[in-house]
Each structure stands twice: as C-alpha cells, then as structure tokens.
Amino acid sequence: MSLHHHLTAPLIGNNPVTLQILGICSALAVTTTLSTAITMSVALTVVLCLSNGVISLMRHHIPPSIRLIIQITIVASIVIVIDQFMQAFMFEMSKRLSIFVGLIVTNCLVLGRAEAFAMRNPVLPSVVDGLGNGLGYSLVLLIVGALREFLGTGALMGVPLVTTAADGGWFQPLGLMQLAPSAFFILGLLVWLVRAMRPEQVEQPEFRLRTSEDRRP
Amino acid sequence: MAEVFSPIRKFFARSNDDLVKIIGMAVLVALVSSAAVSVTAVMLKPYQEANRAAEQQARMDKMLDTLPGMRDLMMETGVDTLETRLVNLDDGSFASSEDSAAFDLDAALQDAEASIALEPDADIAGIKRRANQSPVYLLQKDGELMLIVLPVYGAGYQSTLQAALAIEADLVTIAALAIVEQGDTPGFGARIEEPDWLAQWPGKKFADETGTVRIELVRGGASTPYEVDGISGATRTSTGMTNLLRFWLGDKGFGPFLTRLRQEGL
C-alpha cells in the first residue's frame, strides 16, 4: 500500500462518489455551474486532508467510546474556519455556496475517511488518502458541473461557448439541467459508465429475486 | 521542566478506556476547537464586515441606477452619493449630525435607552425591538427634496429581510425597492432579489390620499397602484415583505417623519 496507491486508487478504481456513493448530496446541490463545483471541490479536499491529518495525529489518544463525537467536532471546527476564510476573502463565492460549505460537516465522505482510514494509519498516508479521495470527489463534481452548466446554459465558467436560441443561435438550453434531478441522472449515467468499463465494481445482489424455478420442491 | 509536563504525560499515558482520559480528551478537544474557531472569527471579522459594507454600497448604487434619470440628476446637483441624516422616529425630527456619524444600529438595539421593545401586536415586522433613531438617505437639489431612501427590515420566512425603499418627492410614490440582504429559500423567497420582480415597484403608491398605508403584496395579478405581485411559492416571504413595509411606513416607523415632511418640508 504505497502513498501512490492511496493517492490514485480513489480517482476511478475506488472513487468515493461513483463506487462508494458517498457525499452525493453536495454533488447534487453545488454542480449547477462549474465555478461553484470547483470551489466546493477545493473546500472539501482541504477539509478532508486537514481532518484526516489531525485525526490521524491524535489517533492513539481518541477514546473509542467517544471517537465519533471527537471526529465530528474536529471536522466541524475545520469547516467553520474555512467558511470564515471564504467569507473574508472569497465573499461572492461564499454567498453562492452559502449553506453547502457548512454542510461539509455532514458530508459522509469526511467522516467516512476519518473513521475508516485516519484512525488506523500514520499522518502522511492519511493526508494523502484525504487528498486522493478529495480529488476523486472533485473529479466527479467537475464532470457533473461542466455537463450541467454547458447543457443548461450553453456556457462554461460563465463564458458563453455557443449562442443560445434566446440570442438568435441554434442552441436551446436544457432547463432541466439546472434543476437538482439532472445531477442524479448524470451521476447515474457516470456510475453505469464506470461499472461497464470495470465490471469488477458491480455489486452482487444481497438477495436474489425468487423465480418460479426456485419454488419447485 | 520535566516535572511540569509529567502530569500531562501521565494523562496521555492513561488507557483510552479510562474515564478520566475520556472526559479529559472531550474537554481538551472542545477547548482547542472553540479557541481555533473564535480566533479565526475575531481575526477575520474586519475583512468580512468590509465585504458586507461594500456589497451594501453596491446594492445602493444599483438601486440608484434603476431609477430613470437619477444619475443625471446626481451629476446635475454635483453629488456622487446620497446625504445621510439621522431621524428621531418618535417625532420625525432630524437628529444632530454628530449623532448621525456615531449611530450604530446594533448597539442601539442592545441599549434600553436608545430603543423600545415592541408589543407583540404592534410588532408586525417581527423585529422585537426598534431603535429610536434611524438613518435616512436624501437627495436634494437647490434645497428641494428629490428623493428619499428609507432603510427597512423585518422577518421573512427564515431570515431577516433588509431592504431600501426609495420614495419620490411627493412622498407617496415608490421610486424603487432594493433588497440589501436576505437569506430566504433559494428559488422561492430569494426571488425577491430578481430584477424582474423588483422592476414592478417603481410607480406604486404606498399610501392613499388619507395617508393610510395600503401597500400590499398580493397573490395573482396586482390590480391597484397599492398592490404588487407576490412571489408564488413564497407566501411567507411575501407576507413578511408586506408587513415590514407597513410597519416601517406606519406610526412606529417612519410615519411621523413622513407626515412632518409633508406638512413642513425638510
């Protein structure tokens, strides 16, 4: 398990969003435009690295009986600090992301990595694991964000790429893409794509539907 | 030095299942976290306040831009921004200019002398306390009032709505409404910030000939000069807006000030 593995495995092979289906609530909320998706990705990656680092640093002294409370307290503090920095230096962006940055605290991805990895591994691998998972999450967010912004408005990063029908061009923006359900559609298609290319990711059903064959004595 | 640190070392050497260690770690994490959060919040506050002030200024500028001919008028009168005056809300008179510079709304609301508690049935805007003074912004030309901007605020659906209401020289016609700050539901209540919605306000009248405040956000189509289309799906934001305007234009708000202006002028 090299550092390189911790960094690259979560990108596609063990992607937190498409394989583990973690943290999709924010993937859905902030991906209407590419720029919010980028900001959210950076914020989450920083939180993930810091929280993994801090929790790994004190892992020998976290009493197991209150470990979740301690982890969530640390994550919440880091998130508030980052939110404060954004309000001070990236005011416009912080207004657009408003509550979603605060909701990083409840992002299952952060607590998931702290509990599954940082509690059992030294600091450096933990930080790298945080970075890798943050990048994996970012990759999905960027793909969904870019598709939604382009199909929904005909622009990327607010720069118009094609002339929309309203301005006399041929491109009719797909209004649905700006609504939350479209993130599910794109995410679903993405999961399908990844699993079609890597069939080993397909989960075995826990229960099989009973067929008429089974019913025979 | 070793003696000083030995209790700390002993503490960390305890088993993680030990009660002292569990409580100690909980307290320690809580203290360190709260210290980190407080220090950041206090240190970054000046930057955040500067951002908010710049945004409010930008909104005020934007509102002035929506008023037809306002920029020309300001050029003509040779001012680049509005004049700020402090009004004593109870009798509608102007306070002295020194008070005006020192006025701080948050401090006034904390101070029992500088603000009053509102009775529940008088408090339609849902603000609980009202300061005794409020700033207003004036545009004058040759000593004549051209435009007056009143800062108003009150409870929306899940946030406090702050707005600036610009009134023309006749003191009943609304020149524009600008939303200064709000945090209602994006896509619903937050649509009060949309230019299309705000564009209906210019030309509306907030009171009739008898001086009764009649401005209202209504469902469906607005049919009288006192009615503005509410926002569908955001009934409580719309009601909140109606109530806060009625409060601030009424007797407990700028009512006495507007009455005095109508009678005696500036």
- Most confident range (mean pLDDT) of A78-92, B13-27, B28-42, B168-182 is B28-42
For chain B, say whether A180 makes contact (Cβ under 8 Å): no
ipTM of the complex: 0.74
How far is Cα B77 from Cα B142, in angstroms, rounded to an integer? Answer: 8
Domains in chain A, number: 1
pLDDT band at B66 (very low <50, low <70, confident <90, very high): low
User: Is B200 found in the same domain as B158?
Assistant: yes
pLDDT at residue A48 in the model: 92
User: Is B217 found in the same domain as B242?
Assistant: yes
In B, which residues are within 8 Å of A98 by CB distance? Answer: 183, 186
Write the DSSP string, A161-183.
-S-BGGGTSSB---GGGGSHHHH
pLDDT at residue A215 in the model: 66
User: Is B134 found in the same domain as B20?
Assistant: no
What number of CA atoms fall less than 13 Å from residue A91's CA on the CB side?
14
User: Is B154 found in the same domain as B97?
Assistant: yes
User: Is B82 found in the same domain as B49?
Assistant: no
User: Is B88 found in the same domain as B47?
Assistant: no
Q: Do B12 and A61 touch (CB under 8 A)?
A: yes
For chain B, say whether A98 makes contact (Cβ under 8 Å): yes
Q: Does the pLDDT at position B2 exceed 70?
A: no
pLDDT at residue A123 in the model: 92
Indicate the average pLDDT of chain B.
85
Domain-embedded: residue A44: yes
Q: Does the pLDDT at position B258 exceed 70?
A: yes
Stretch B225-249: mean pLDDT: 90
Write the DSSP string, A108-133.
HHHHHHIIIIITTS-HHHHHHHHHHH
pLDDT at residue B257 in the model: 92
Provide the residue range defining the domain that includes B21: 1-66
Task: Mention every residue, 6+ apart, whose C-beta is less than 8 A from residue A153.
Answer: A33, A164, A173, A178
User: Is B19 found in the same domain as B143?
Assistant: no
Domain-embedded: residue A88: yes
Stretch B163-184: mean pLDDT: 86
Stretch B162-179: mean pLDDT: 88
User: Is B59 found in the same domain as B120?
Assistant: no
A:B CB pairs within 8 Å: 60
User: Is B77 found in the same domain as B17?
Assistant: no
pLDDT band at B246 (very low <50, low <70, confident <90, very high): very high
What number of CA atoms fall less than 13 Å from residue A83's CA on the CB side?
20
End-of-domain residue from the set B51, B66, B81: B66
Residues in chain B: 266
- Most confident range (mean pLDDT) of B4-8, B25-29, B155-159 is B25-29
Nearest residue to A74 via CA among A84, A94, A89, A59: A59
Strand-pair partners of B147: B139, B168
Q: Does the pLDDT at position B194 exceed 70?
A: yes
Domain-embedded: residue A141: yes
pLDDT at residue B40 in the model: 94
For chain B, say whether A77 makes contact (Cβ under 8 Å): yes
End-of-domain residue from the set B66, B88, B110: B66
Domain-embedded: residue A81: yes
- pLDDT mean by block of 10 residues, chain A; 217 residues: 80 79 76 85 91 92 90 92 88 76 83 89 92 91 90 82 76 81 88 86 76 68
Provide the residue range defining the domain that includes A147: 3-201
| Six-digit token string for A15 | 């992607």
Q: Which residue of B21, B33, B40 is in closest CB contact with A63? A: B21
Q: Do B26 and A70 touch (CB under 8 A)?
A: yes
End-of-domain residue from the set B66, B82, B113: B66
How far is Cα A66 from Cα A69, in angstroms, rounded to an integer? Answer: 5
User: Is B234 found in the same domain as B130?
Assistant: yes
In A, which residues are within 8 Å of B159 by CB distance? Answer: none
User: Is B101 found in the same domain as B43?
Assistant: no
Domain-embedded: residue A217: no
For chain B, say whether A175 makes contact (Cβ under 8 Å): no
**pLDDT tens digits along B201-236:** 988 999 888 888 889 998 878 888 899 998 888 888
Domains in chain B, number: 2
pLDDT at residue A217 in the model: 59
Q: Which residue of A74, A80, A88 is in closest CB contact with B48? A: A88
User: Is B43 found in the same domain as B141?
Assistant: no
Q: Does the pLDDT at position B242 exceed 80?
A: yes
Helical (H) or strand (E) element with B162: strand B160-168
Q: Do A77 and B37 touch (CB under 8 A)?
A: yes
* Whole-model pTM over 0.80: no
